[in-house]
């Protein structure tokens, strides 16, 4: 079994962040209040090639927290964990604290 997946071209491997459904005090949160579709970038491909042959690097890097589209991506399961492969241009933006 593969231990590490390195995406090709401009693809990005993302692990979706599952928001907590309950506060530390034990209050259950409704699903609508926790629905921010985000994830952590696990691995990034080298990028696309321009018509001149230059590499165009992806806009995100490993460790970034990104905002994901509601649909799309390719589901990938490595071991017990599930990941999603997106194209670089499908990622909506990066999230910062």
pLDDT band at 72 (very low <50, low <70, confident <90, very high): confident
Nearest to 88, CA basis, from 7, 5, 11: 11
Q: 3-state class of 7 per DSSP?
A: coil
Angle at 56 between CA 93 and CA 60, to 5 degrees: 25
Q: What is the pTM of this model?
A: 0.79
The per-residue pLDDT for 23 is 63
33-69 pLDDT tens trace? 545 788 999 999 999 998 998 999 999 999 999 999 9
pLDDT of residue 84: 93
Assess contact for 13 and 45: CB atoms under 8 A. Answer: no
């Amino acid at each position: 079994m593969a231990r590490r997946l390195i995406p090709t071209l401009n693809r990005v491997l993302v692990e979706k962040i599952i928001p907590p459904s309950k506060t530390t005090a034990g209050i259950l949160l409704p699903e609508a209040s926790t629905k921010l579709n985000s994830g952590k970038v696990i691995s990034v491909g080298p990028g696309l090639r321009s018509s001149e042959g230059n590499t165009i690097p992806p806009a995100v890097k490993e460790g970034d927290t990104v905002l994901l589209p509601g649909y799309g991506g390719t589901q990938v399961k490595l071991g017990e964990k599930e990941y999603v492969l997106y194209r670089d241009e499908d990622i909506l933006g990066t999230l910062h604290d």
